[in-house]
Structure formats: structure tokens, C-alpha cells
């Protein structure tokens, strides 16, 4: 049987996948990164004017300085940083190449992408969670007026817009659209704005709701979307609103299908935490590692760049202790 061509294949070229590539390169491992989209594809799809909660030093990888013009770096600054790291270190990354199958073999793994096949010894999955939205599962959600991602406010000027959710992304979208001339209504399942909303933004959204500039329905949920209206179930009964667009920012989840087909086990509850060794990041499948946000299952708020960039060194340390 043919021996594997690569020591390590990394799936995902986000910040943590890049960190893993840097670590592999430092140890002279024969590695390759496959990314189905653009470099740092999730960051690329963030809102244009997004500001990180973390300071730039917390987003650094491999002790490479991240210099920002602001106390909190912006999306564009982060894209520039990770792009420069990738190009200056000449990392081996194939973009726009999607992994379609992952199979354990005698000598490692067979990886099939939409462009090629690879035989590898070890695999690191660092795919994050931003690619698959949590759906509302209601009538009308498939209408073209419904979005699960938000990029910028301009298209929603002079439009009746419903923003679903109370997280950072929902609050940012509601405020930006309001300030660009949109008529914004928030529909929030809980009783208040989310606890993890950025501290410098939370007073802004609370004041806009209090003064009536942004309408908010708490303890409420959308029941149906039509081309011209939305129907909302509220504590005061069912409300029907004129509506042009719905932005449903209800969160996202990892690619469980890929993990399932790879043979990774999960916790038996709704959190779906994948099985891995917290000291090595190796899963129950020998030679298969997880890095970054994907480790949290449905608890996507537990892991982020700041506290998972250490996974790269943990994983490659473990790989070096085992025969290739």
C-alpha cells in the first residue's frame, strides 16, 4: 500500500488553521492547508465595519506582532494581518478547495477534495463554525428577502427590516441599518439584549430601544415570513408587520456532517461537544485533531481566536511524540 504523501493536512485556513500551518512549518513537517473559500473565509464574511472585542495582541499568532490603529482592531486590519502572515511565511495553502470525504486508513487518512485526493498521516480540522447558520425553520425562511449573514447597511436604507436575535451581530446590524435610514424592528426570543454584547455598544442599543428609534419585541419569535409581511408571536399576542427584509442572525454551528463521517464521537446532549483530549486535542479517532471553535460543538461562544490559538502548539507537540 502506498505510504502517505503528507505528514499533516489541515482543513480550514482561518486564524487557527494558519497557526497550525506555522507550527508545522517550524517543525519541518510536510503539511498542506485546504480551505473551501477565501483565506480566513469567516473573517472575510464578517460585516464590513466590524470591530473585534479582543485587542490586537490577543489575535496574534506565533508571536508575530499585530499592529492596529485602534484599541480594538477592525475586520480589515485582521484580514491584512493574517494575509501578511500567510504570504510572508510562504505557507502551503490551497484556497477554494473543499474537502468532501475523510476516511481513516491503515497508514493514516485518505482525503478527497473537489480537486484532488491526498494520502496523509495526520489531520487537523480547524473549520470553525461560521459557514452553517442555525435556521428558524419557519414558513417563508427560504424567500430571497431573508438573510442569515449581514455585510453592510446600505441596501436596507428606507426599508422595513426585521433583525432576529440579540447577540453582537444582531445589535451591530440593527444599529447600522437604523443609522443608514432603515426602519428597524428587533425580534428577540429572550427577555433582554444578550449578556455578551460588547460593553461599549450595549448602552447605545438600549437607548435606541428606549427612545423608540428601534422597535424591539422581547420574549417573541417570528412564526411566518411572506413576501410583504412577517408574523410575530409576542407576549401580547400575534403581530403582523409590513416587511421588506429579514436578517436572521440566530447563530451558526460547525460542520457536524464532516466530523460524523470521520468517526468522531459527540456528547449525548444538545451541546454536541466532540470527543477530544484536552491536553493534545486528539479526537477519539487516532491521528485526527481538532483546533479552534469547532471544539465547542453547539457552544460556539466558548472558543475563539484568543483562547484557541494555543491549540496549534499542543497538536504539533503531540504529533512529534508519535511515529509518522
The CATH number of the domain holding residue 180 is 3.50.50.60
User: Does residue 49 sit in the same domain as residue 157?
Assistant: no
| Gap between the Cα atoms of 257 and 244, Å rounded | 34
Of the candidates 275, 276, 270, 278, the one whose C-alpha atom is nearest the C-alpha of residue 298 is 270
Residue at 1 is within a domain: no
Calculate ∠ Cα 131-133-137, nearest 5°.
150
R_g over Cα of the chain: 21
Q: Structural domain of residue 31, as residue ranges? A: 6-132+252-321
Residues 6 or more apart whose Cβ sits within 8 Å of residue 28:
none
Both 85 and 231 in one domain: the answer is: no
pTM of the model: 0.89
Clarify whether residues 10 and 127 are in a common domain. Answer: yes
CA dist 203 → 6, 206, 320 (Å): 51, 5, 49
End position of a domain, from candidates 230, 248, 266: 248
Is 295 a member of any domain? yes
Q: How far is CA 295 from CA 35, 253, 275, in A?
A: 18, 11, 8
Task: Count how many domains the chain has.
Answer: 2
At 288-313, the pLDDT tens digits run: 999 999 998 888 778 888 889 999 99
User: Does 126 lie in the same domain as 42?
Assistant: yes
Number of C-beta neighbours around residue 298 at 10 A: 20
Percentage of the chain exceeding pLDDT 70 = 98
Average pLDDT (190-208) is 93
Residue 4 pLDDT level (bands cut at 50, 70, 90): low
Q: Are residues 128 and 21 in the same domain?
A: yes
CA–CA separation, 249 and 146 (whole Å): 10
261/272 same-domain check: yes
Amino acid at each position: 500500500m502506498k505510504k502517505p504523501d503528507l505528514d499533516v493536512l489541515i482543513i480550514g485556513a482561518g486564524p487557527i488553521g494558519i497557526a497550525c500551518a506555522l507550527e508545522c512549518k517550524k517543525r519541518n513537517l510536510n503539511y498542506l492547508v485546504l480551505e473551501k473559500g477565501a483565506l480566513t473565509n469567516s473573517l472575510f464574511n464578517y460585516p464590513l465595519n466590524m470591530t473585534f472585542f479582543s485587542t490586537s495582541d490577543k489575535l496574534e499568532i506565533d508571536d508575530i506582532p499585530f499592529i492596529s490603529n485602534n484599541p480594538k482592531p477592525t475586520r480589515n486590519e485582521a484580514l491584512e494581518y493574517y494575509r501578511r502572515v500567510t504570504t510572508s511565511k510562504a505557507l502551503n495553502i490551497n484556497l477554494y478547495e473543499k474537502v468532501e470525504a475523510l476516511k481513516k486508513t491503515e497508514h493514516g487518512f485518505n482525503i478527497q477534495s473537489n480537486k484532488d485526493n491526498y494520502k496523509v498521516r495526520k489531520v487537523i480540522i480547524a473549520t470553525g463554525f461560521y459557514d452553517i447558520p442555525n435556521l428558524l425553520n419557519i414558513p417563508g425562511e427560504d424567500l430571497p428577502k431573508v438573510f442569515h449573514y449581514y455585510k453592510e447597511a446600505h441596501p436596507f436604507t428606507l426599508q422595513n427590516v426585521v433583525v432576529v436575535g440579540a447577540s453582537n451581530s444582531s445589535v451591530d446590524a440593527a444599529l447600522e441599518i437604523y443609522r443608514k435610514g432603515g426602519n428597524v424592528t428587533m425580534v428577540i426570543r429572550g427577555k433582554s439584549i444578550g449578556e455578551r454584547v460588547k460593553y461599549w455598544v450595549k448602552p447605545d442599543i438600549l437607548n435606541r430601544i428606549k427612545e423608540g428609534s428601534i422597535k424591539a419585541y422581547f420574549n417573541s419569535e417570528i412564526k411566518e415570513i411572506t413576501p410583504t409581511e412577517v408574523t410575530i408571536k409576542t407576549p401580547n399576542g400575534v403581530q403582523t408587520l409590513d416587511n421588506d427584509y429579514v436578517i436572521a442572525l440566530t447563530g451558526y454551528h460547525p460542520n457536524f456532517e464532516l466530523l460524523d463521517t470521520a468517526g468522531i464521537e459527540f456528547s449525548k446532549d444538545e451541546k454536541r461537544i466532540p470527543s477530544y483530549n484536552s491536553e493534545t486535542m486528539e479526537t477519539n479517532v487516532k491521528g485526527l485533531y481538532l483546533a479552534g471553535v469547532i471544539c465547542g460543538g453547539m457552544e460556539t461562544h466558548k472558543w475563539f481566536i484568543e483562547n484557541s490559538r494555543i491549540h496549534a502548539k499542543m497538536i504539533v507537540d503531540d504529533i512529534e511524540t508519535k511515529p509518522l
